[in-house]
Amino acid sequence: MPETMFDALRELLAGDTLSIVERFVLPGRPAKHSQVPRFLRDSRVGWHLNRILTSDGQLWSHQTDALECVGRGENLVVSTGTASGKSLIFRALAFHKALLKPGSRTLVFYPQKALAADQMKGWQEMAHGLKLPESTIGRIDGDVPVREREGILSTARIVVMTPDVCHAWLMYRLALPIVREFVRSLSTLIMDEAHTLEGVFGSNFAFLIRRLMAARDHLSKDTSKDPLQLVAATATIRDPGRHMKLLTGKSFTVVDHERDGSPQHDRLVAHIACADGEEVNVAKALHTSLLEGAPNGAFITFLDSRKGVEALAMASGATPTADVLPYRAGFAPEDRAAIEQRLQEGSLKGVISTSALELGIDLPHLQVGINVGVPSTRKSYRQRLGRVGRSGRAAFVVIAPPRAFSSFGTSFRQYHEMSVEPSYLYLDNRFMQFAHGRCLATEQEPLGAPAHTPTGIDWPPGFNELYAAARPGGNRPTEFDAIAALGGDDPHHGYPLRNVGELRFQIRTHKDAPSIGDVNQNQALRECYPGGTYLHLATAYEVKAWITSAFDSYILV
């Protein structure tokens, strides 16, 4: 009997029960090491790194390169592979500054609440290793009550935040002394998973970061103050230096995959053929073989459908306490955290997930990755491939019809070797410019800033004119009347970063019960219409009613 799931899948791929269109091995490589940079060696951070690192206190070579760049004060984007230790780079910088400059603050952006909550563990572990109080690190996102946020800002030296909360809460409250002092004292801004900062969300973020820098510049006033240092990390951006320049208006030094010194384990990659429409059934059979065939290791299966994830998990034996569970957006925070903890400690044998588990959560026990269908983008493929093989040999398979790749004139290997898709920003969108002009005007007033567009910021072409039109009393063209009405008197909430706002429903088993999760309106129409069956955390619920009022909106199951 095979010892691990990797061994079990390798035997299946070598046998005659599966139809294999193509397979290849991504060879591993040894690590390349380098010394901790000189500016950290005699610091408490350098002491901590020497204590936790292997290979005689050495970093991987790209980590040293990156730290030397930020030690010189440069803006940096680290674009190396998944599991290449990018987090250690910016954590070391943030803690070094916290110890060196007690009045400085670092703001860390994560694109998702679940990712922010997961990454807090690493920040807290490093704070503990440096013998810093737990309050040195704070987290503010949509799951943190508003009443607690000002206290976090006042005590934390490093604050983990989602861009959405920065836009709708922090920038909305610049009149508050605690918020103003936090923004004034910012020395470092970190953007993890920067490849997600594209499209509408990334374009809105590009204006948000410029507004944040404008507020910081005005509040600082001291011309001798060090400029705000920007650090970004990603595994999947094409031309990362150019993208970050467009995103922020600032130039970046790039440490990319060509300088990546992290080790990699062998990974077996294969295309398993199936008939059209049979992808899910083949995945279910594969789950059964893996669960019965090996005692050690775990698998992750990606499927781009929330309802499909639940159905496949239940078909694979999932129950709320089983060894296989679904994972997707819409779970209660405590349920997400429980699944992540079981994956990290190795007590869960399998998870079926939407794209929600693509990003940086470290899952060292995953040996097998399965994708139901061809991933929608090569960025998504790279992220999903990077979930497996972090602590040993691994395999990743795509279950799709035989011509899934050849019909597009490529092989699976060629698809793998292609560059990821370009990242697009829409900075010249006049309606987006007007919306952020309105937000900026609302922010400048409590700061006592001049009426003109803040200087020293690389605003996109055309923004100056639309900012003047967006200000109170500005000569607004009639084409912007509708978007002005959408923002009303509260543009920070009227113009959310992820396109238009959507009504969200809590899912409850009775009126006063705690929520088991949530859905937006479009998801509710597809997944939990009255009379239908709603699948949630491997449990089927009958949908009884939608309850909406001015004070509450929930779905009764």
Q: Exposed/middle/buried for 346, CB within 10 Å: 0-12, 13-18, 19+?
A: middle
Position 12 in a domain = yes
pLDDT tens digit sequence for 226-283 = 899 999 999 889 999 999 999 999 999 999 999 999 999 999 999 999 999 999 999 9
Residue 136 DSSP label: G
Residues 342-346, mean pLDDT to the nearest whole number:
88
- The Cα 289–Cα 13 span in angstroms is 12
Do 248 and 278 have their domain in common? Answer: no
Do 479 and 355 have their domain in common? Answer: no
- The Cα 294–Cα 292 span in angstroms is 6
Pairing state between β 267-273 and 229-233: unpaired
- Residues 541/534, Cβ–Cβ less than 8 Å: yes
- Closest C-alpha among 461, 88, 70 to residue 227: 70
Do 78 and 209 have their domain in common? Answer: yes
User: What percent of the chain stands above pLDDT 70?
Assistant: 97
Residues 130-140, mean pLDDT to the nearest whole number:
96
Residue/partner pairs of 274-283 with CB below 8 Å, 24 or more apart: 274/19, 274/399, 274/400, 274/401, 275/401, 276/401, 279/372, 279/373, 279/399, 279/400, 280/308, 280/311, 280/312, 280/315, 280/372, 282/399, 283/312, 283/370, 283/372, 283/399
Say what the pLDDT of residue 17 is.
92
Q: Which domain holds residue 546?
A: 504-556
What is the SS3 assignment for 341?
A: helix
Q: In what order do the strands lie in the sheet with 504-508?
A: 517-520, 504-508, 553-556, 545-548
Do 216 and 121 have their domain in common? Answer: yes
Q: What is the mean pLDDT of the chain?
A: 92
List, in sequence order, every residue forming a beta bridge with 286; answer none if it has no partner.
none
The number of distinct structural domains making up the chain is: 4
- Among candidate residues 206, 237, 259, the one where a domain is terminated: 259
- The structure tokens listed for 267 are 């990974």
Query: The domain spanning residue 393 has which CATH number?
Result: 3.40.50.300
Say what the pLDDT of residue 56 is.
66
Q: Does the pLDDT value for residue 224 go beyond 60?
A: no
- The Cα 17–Cα 465 span in angstroms is 65
- The Cα 513–Cα 547 span in angstroms is 14
Do 246 and 152 have their domain in common? Answer: yes
- Residues 504/495, Cβ–Cβ less than 8 Å: no
pLDDT tens digit sequence for 315-327 = 998 887 789 999 9
Say what the pLDDT of residue 360 is.
66
Position 422 in a domain = no
What is the SS3 assignment for 528?
A: coil
- Among candidate residues 417, 441, 472, the one where a domain is terminated: 417
- Closest C-alpha among 538, 542, 541 to residue 320: 538
Pairing state between β 504-508 and 394-400: unpaired
- The Cα 143–Cα 516 span in angstroms is 14
- The Cα 464–Cα 69 span in angstroms is 33
DSSP 59-112: EEHHHHHHHHHHHTT--EEEE--TTS-HHHHHHHHHHHHHHH-TT-EEEEE-SS
Q: How many CB atoms lie within 10 A of CB 65?
A: 20
Full-model pTM: 0.91
Residues 6+ apart with CB under 8 A from 403: none
Do 142 and 273 have their domain in common? Answer: no
Instruction: Kindly indicate the confidence band of residue 291, based on its pLDDT and cuts at 50, 70 and 90.
Output: very high
Sign of CA dihedral 538, 539, 540, 545: negative
pLDDT tens digit sequence for 171-208 = 999 999 999 999 999 999 999 999 999 999 999 999 99
- The structure tokens listed for 25 are 């091995």
- Closest C-alpha among 123, 151, 122 to residue 137: 123
User: What percent of the chain stands above pLDDT 90?
Assistant: 76
List, in sequence order, every residue forming a beta bridge with 60; answer none if it has no partner.
33
Instruction: Kindly indicate the confidence band of residue 143, based on its pLDDT and cuts at 50, 70 and 90.
Output: confident
* Residue 134 φ then ψ, to 5°: -60, -30
Residue 551 Cα distances to 505, 506, 548, 554, angstroms: 12, 13, 8, 10
Residues 209-223, mean pLDDT to the nearest whole number:
89
Do 393 and 476 have their domain in common? Answer: no
- The structure tokens listed for 38 are 């000189």
- The Cα 391–Cα 362 span in angstroms is 11
Q: Does the pLDDT value for residue 553 go beyond 80?
A: yes
Say what the pLDDT of residue 306 is.
94
Residues 309-337, mean pLDDT to the nearest whole number:
90
pLDDT tens digit sequence for 350-408 = 999 999 898 767 788 899 999 999 999 999 999 999 999 988 999 999 999 999 999 88
Do 461 and 407 have their domain in common? Answer: no
Do 514 and 472 have their domain in common? Answer: no
pLDDT tens digit sequence for 463-504 = 999 999 999 888 899 999 988 998 989 999 999 998 655 577
Written as one letter, the residue type at 462 is G
Do 241 and 290 have their domain in common? Answer: no
- Closest C-alpha among 251, 254, 260, 266 to residue 458: 251
Do 49 and 197 have their domain in common? Answer: yes
- The Cα 329–Cα 339 span in angstroms is 13
Say what the pLDDT of residue 381 is.
96
pLDDT tens digit sequence for 93-128 = 999 999 999 899 999 999 988 889 889 999 999 999
- Residues 454/444, Cβ–Cβ less than 8 Å: yes
Do 343 and 392 have their domain in common? Answer: yes
- Among candidate residues 384, 417, 450, the one where a domain is terminated: 417
Position 480 in a domain = yes
Position 423 in a domain = no
